[in-house]
A and B are shown apart, each in its own frame.
Chain A
Amino acid sequence: MQLTLWTYEGPPHVGAMRVATAMTDVHYVLHAPQGDTYADLLFTMIERLPRRPPVTYTTFQARDLGGDTAQLFKDAVSSAFERFQPKAVLVGSSCTAELIQDDPGGLAQALNLPVPVIPLELPAYQRKENWGAAETFYQLVRRLVKTPDPVPSPSARKPRCNILGPTALGFRHRDDVREISQLLQALGVDVAVVAPLNASVQDLQNLAQADFNVVLYPEVANTTAQWLERQFSQPYTRVMPIGVTATREFIKEVATLAGVDIPPDLEKNSRSVWFSRSVDSTYLTGKRVFLFGDASHVVAAARFATEEMGFDVAGIGTYSREFAREVRDAAKKYHVEPLITDDYLLVEEQIKSLHPELILGTQMERHIAKRLGIPCAVISAPVHIQDYPARYAPQMGFEGANVLFDTWVYPLMMGLEEHLLGMFREDFEFHDGAAPSHLGSARSQPTESKVPLKMEIDQIVVSNPSVVPITATSWSTDAEKELGKIPFFVRGKARRNTERFAMEHGLSTITVETLYDAKAHFSR
């Protein structure tokens, strides 16, 4: 058992729903208890879809468990098929149905429906949402795709590609697809099929007719792209076009795969590069950020943060175990310890010990940020309703970089205010720890942790051996006062550093001297 306050991913059947709901003529029959229809709300409320997800649930109850739940499932499949007339049917179990072992695949095959029936084996107690989406997409494509007829002269037409990976309930998938499609078009590449988002069964059948694949979201599409490469020799792109440099690399990659020249005016609407170079952004240099989210967004964001914003990476981590290697490599590059976990409490401990000045994470990191009083921006799913905006808000391509610049700078205190706060500490309005004034009075002050410090340390030691434990040093009153003069967003870091310095030098009391010795020591 695992204590979970917040979970980064849903169960795998939600991943399957994201694929089914993204598509236009697939229906999903899910063997699940009453109540699991809550998942419909993810789509109708959080993403505000104007239609019901194409999912039929058996919604069995306790009294059904004594009877024939297998028959219940068979009835649900036949009536769903009759009513919705889908071109393909997905069948599977949710976590509770997995326990009662009714074999949805076998039961549905026995009905002899006139359309493909694709059984999904999604182990709910081992795997999670993204894996479920990837597996569902892979099974669908594997089952449906058709070998293309040999084309006499492929040079007679423009190069064409598929875009793979966008789903329902994806973080900014809608606008990323638009941004990247426009980019491909400007490059002279046709987009044959986008899948699974808005794709039909027919579209999936035609996937093999494209020249190559653009993988936007490896978490969902890698398995499928790899399989297509093996079966039909379709190469696929490796770079996730988040940030200007990554987008340029992506363009080069596509140009090579498609055999086209890169037109000169692709970057005409790119502003983030200049914004970042303008002197107003100088104060962003070296701000310490902590990044957490799905692996591909985190790695891409870390690159943008360091190379295009001038931040320092204080810590990096992901909940996507399947892609842990990429994050480990990135961590090496930034000389930090990677955090590969789906345990929210570990992430919280890590952030607490690192004292970053900005958190780039998911909806879950916003809870941590509130608790610790640290500015925060969202870079990855899971997200809530406010991150399915009405306006155009891609993360990818040149417009995506513009969006990232604005979004990440917004929660930080602005330059002038930061300077003045460092100089004058006793102002009645602009005081220590008050929310940045451009955010109104909306943000609350850091919540004082109710947990005694001693225990925090114990937990850190247990959970993360790489963090140096701090014990048995006490602060003199003067030193404590002096510490208070350090701006609040770097104070935590200064406290840790000083305590570490005192520990390493065997000092039992921290004086003002120690504080400045430590400052000199760590600013080498």
Chain B
Amino acid sequence: MNAIIPIRREEALGCTNTQVLSEKGQREVFCGLTGIIWLHRKIQDAFFLVVGSRTCAHLIQSAAGVMIFAEPRFGTAIIDERDLAGIADANEELDRVVSELLVRRQDIKLLFLVGSCPSEVIKLDLSRAADRLSRQHLPRTKVLSYSGSGIETTFTQGEDACLASLVPTLPSRTVEGKHLLIVGTLADVVEDQLGALLRKMGIERFDFFPPRKSTDLPAIGPETVCLLAQPFLADTAKQLEARGVKRLSASFPLGAEGTTQWLKVAAKAFGIDDRRFDDVTQAPRQRAIQSVARHQAQLKGKSISFLPDSQLEIPLARFVYQELQMNLLEVGTPYLHRQIMAPELEQLPSSTRLSEGQSLELQLDRCDADQPDLIVCGLGLANPLEARGFTTKWSIELVFTPIQGYEQAGDLAGLFSRPLLRKLKLVA
């Protein structure tokens, strides 16, 4: 049972009970469709077909089109006026487009129909379409659907929606024994490292989700527990819980501290004793602390503000506060899931200004007043803020870089120190 929580412990619980500034107004964020940009590399035999407008197609290619693709792994079924006027049956049209695509690309094993604002507003039922198309194209291609629309999802929530749509298709586990599912897209190298640490501790039965191939979906069962590796996976966690998987609450594996806490939760769940845990983690932990220390010298005492983007802001703020000793001004997040974020919030200083949602102009006014040494923000704002004399760290890179685990702690710190170092280096 839960321990009785004593009243008046704000200080000890960090930011847990802090009033969150909740704002409505212009939000300078990506929609969930953007998740496709990394998901298409993670699950290599999947194809992402957005059902939307030209705007959706333009968004994805503006973001990913700088890479030259011999075989694109995403596309858009652009809704046109005939679909809107009801002249063409939207479902028949979609079936035609999917058949066209699958003829062209016979190697696609998993096809995601990705909903967008237009398809949600006109209430095109993609989940039924996915069922129908699956029946047509199985066993070669499985078809699923999720929404990456801007009206429902913000940036990384696209991954959440995608993974949540995969959960019901995970096979049931027939092997006996406790099983760990690590949830959230991680760089391949990070997966390998975390996996090696778990094995050394004696945890053998674990899987990463999403897998690198759609044909390697992990099996889950009543003995499966899951550990989120990314903070933006609320719906996926809910779906997993609905299938009887228990979620372990932990900080996120960012920095030496975060990684230790995260691994510790796994170790506890599998009854690994503290000695063994320390034996396994001590050396990499020391390495991480040392490599972070190099950057700490430069960042200690510097002030930082996070603008909302990916929901990684709170764990990152904890890392820069705890391990780089930076001074937190504002930590903005597009969406705050209190339960998932609880272990992180406890560790933030209670003076932190937490904000959820955004009213862009007001938030920029606060930046002007705060004059942070470093602003973590999206690419729409980074260059304009730099031109005004601020130093910025563009936040999307934090989603596209291996930052989790011990061996990446120094790299993660480097992402924050590099813009400041650059400013010092450039003389012109």
Are A and B interaction partners?
Answer: yes
Contact of A11 among B54, B80, B81, B386 (CB under 8 A): B54
A contact residues around B379 at 8 Å (CB): 40-41, 44-45
Interface flag for B72 (CB, 8 Å): yes
Contact in complex: A7, B383 (CB < 8 Å): no
- A10-B55, A56-B26 are contacts. A1–B79 as well, Cβ < 8 Å? yes
Stretch at the interface among A28-36, A416-424, A481-489: A28-36
Contact in complex: A34, B154 (CB < 8 Å): yes
Interface flag for A520 (CB, 8 Å): no
Q: In the complex, A238→B80 CA distance in Å? A: 33
Q: In the complex, A3→B118 CA distance in Å? A: 16
B-contact bits for A364-389, CB 8 A (1 contact / 0 none): 10110011000000000010111000
A contact residues around B78 at 8 Å (CB): 1-2, 4, 7
Interface flag for A455 (CB, 8 Å): yes
B174–chain A nearest beta-carbon distance, Å:
35
Contact of B54 among A7, A35, A382 (CB under 8 A): A7
B-contact bits for A39-79, CB 8 A (1 contact / 0 none): 11110111011111000111111101100000000001001
- A1-B94, A1-B97, A96-B118 are contacts. A11–B70 as well, Cβ < 8 Å? no
From A34, which residue of chain B is reached at the shortest CB distance?
A: B150
- A3-B75, A370-B70 are contacts. A96–B100 as well, Cβ < 8 Å? no
Interface flag for A390 (CB, 8 Å): no
- A61-B151, A99-B118 are contacts. A1–B77 as well, Cβ < 8 Å? yes
Contact in complex: A44, B55 (CB < 8 Å): no
Q: Name, among B32, B34, B88, B361, the residue most crowded by chain A CB atoms within 10 Å (CB to CB).
A: B361
Interface flag for A466 (CB, 8 Å): no
Interface flag for B406 (CB, 8 Å): no
Contact in complex: A52, B381 (CB < 8 Å): yes
Contact in complex: B58, A385 (CB < 8 Å): no
A contact residues around B150 at 8 Å (CB): 33-36, 59, 61, 96
Q: In the complex, A3→B97 CA distance in Å? A: 6
Interface flag for B66 (CB, 8 Å): yes
Stretch at the interface among A108-116, A123-131, A138-146, A255-263: A123-131
A366–chain B nearest beta-carbon distance, Å:
5
Contact of B31 among A35, A83, A345, A447 (CB under 8 A): A35
A contact residues around B378 at 8 Å (CB): 41
Q: In the complex, A6→B85 CA distance in Å? A: 25
Contact in complex: A124, B53 (CB < 8 Å): yes
Contact in complex: A1, B88 (CB < 8 Å): yes
A contact residues around B380 at 8 Å (CB): 37-38, 40-41, 44, 52
- A7-B76, A50-B384 are contacts. A1–B96 as well, Cβ < 8 Å? yes
Interface flag for B121 (CB, 8 Å): yes
A contact residues around B90 at 8 Å (CB): 1
Contact in complex: A59, B26 (CB < 8 Å): yes
Contact in complex: A46, B29 (CB < 8 Å): no
Contact in complex: A125, B79 (CB < 8 Å): yes
Q: In the complex, A364→B97 CA distance in Å? A: 20
Interface flag for B323 (CB, 8 Å): no
Contact in complex: A455, B72 (CB < 8 Å): no
A74–chain B nearest beta-carbon distance, Å:
14
Contact in complex: B151, A65 (CB < 8 Å): yes
Contact in complex: A49, B121 (CB < 8 Å): no
A contact residues around B28 at 8 Å (CB): 37, 40
Interface flag for A5 (CB, 8 Å): yes
A-contact bits for B94-114, CB 8 A (1 contact / 0 none): 101100110110110000000
- A1-B93, A96-B121 are contacts. A447–B77 as well, Cβ < 8 Å? no
Interface flag for B243 (CB, 8 Å): no
B135–chain A nearest beta-carbon distance, Å:
20
Contact in complex: A1, B117 (CB < 8 Å): no
Q: In the complex, A157→B78 CA distance in Å? A: 53
Interface flag for B242 (CB, 8 Å): no
Q: In the complex, A451→B103 CA distance in Å? A: 9
Contact in complex: B93, A14 (CB < 8 Å): no
Contact in complex: A99, B27 (CB < 8 Å): no
Contact in complex: B70, A38 (CB < 8 Å): no
Contact in complex: A50, B55 (CB < 8 Å): no
Interface flag for B277 (CB, 8 Å): no
Contact in complex: A6, B61 (CB < 8 Å): yes
Contact of A58 among B26, B72, B384 (CB under 8 A): B26
Q: In the complex, A33→B31 CA distance in Å? A: 9
From A59, which residue of chain B is reached at the shortest CB distance?
A: B27
B contact residues around A58 at 8 Å (CB): 26
Q: In the complex, A9→B55 CA distance in Å? A: 9
Contact in complex: A5, B75 (CB < 8 Å): yes
Q: In the complex, A39→B55 CA distance in Å? A: 9
B contact residues around A65 at 8 Å (CB): 121, 151
From B85, which residue of chain A is reached at the shortest CB distance?
A: A125
Contact in complex: A49, B383 (CB < 8 Å): yes
Contact of A7 among B61, B71, B120, B381 (CB under 8 A): B61
From B27, which residue of chain A is reached at the shortest CB distance?
A: A59
Contact of A447 among B70, B76, B106, B382 (CB under 8 A): B70
B contact residues around A61 at 8 Å (CB): 150-152
From A363, which residue of chain B is reached at the shortest CB distance?
A: B65
B85–chain A nearest beta-carbon distance, Å:
9
B392–chain A nearest beta-carbon distance, Å:
11
B contact residues around A57 at 8 Å (CB): 26
Interface flag for B63 (CB, 8 Å): yes
Contact in complex: A125, B152 (CB < 8 Å): no
From A444, which residue of chain B is reached at the shortest CB distance?
A: B70
Contact in complex: A37, B72 (CB < 8 Å): no
Q: In the complex, A386→B386 CA distance in Å? A: 21
Q: In the complex, A62→B32 CA distance in Å? A: 13
Contact in complex: A370, B29 (CB < 8 Å): no
Interface flag for B57 (CB, 8 Å): yes
Contact of A3 among B31, B65, B100 (CB under 8 A): B100
Q: In the complex, A257→B118 CA distance in Å? A: 49
B261–chain A nearest beta-carbon distance, Å:
33
B contact residues around A1 at 8 Å (CB): 51, 77-80, 83, 88, 90, 93-94, 96-97
- 27 cross-chain CB contacts under 8 A: A1-B78, A1-B79, A1-B80, A4-B77, A5-B72, A10-B58, A34-B27, A34-B29, A34-B154, A35-B117, A41-B380, A44-B379, A44-B383, A45-B383, A48-B383, A50-B383, A52-B380, A52-B381, A62-B149, A76-B26, A94-B55, A95-B55, A99-B84, A99-B122, A125-B84, A370-B69, A447-B71
Q: A1-B93, A10-B55, A370-B68 are in contact. List 11 more A-B contacts (CB 8 A).
A: A7-B58, A34-B154, A35-B59, A38-B30, A44-B384, A51-B387, A61-B151, A95-B117, A96-B53, A96-B150, A125-B53
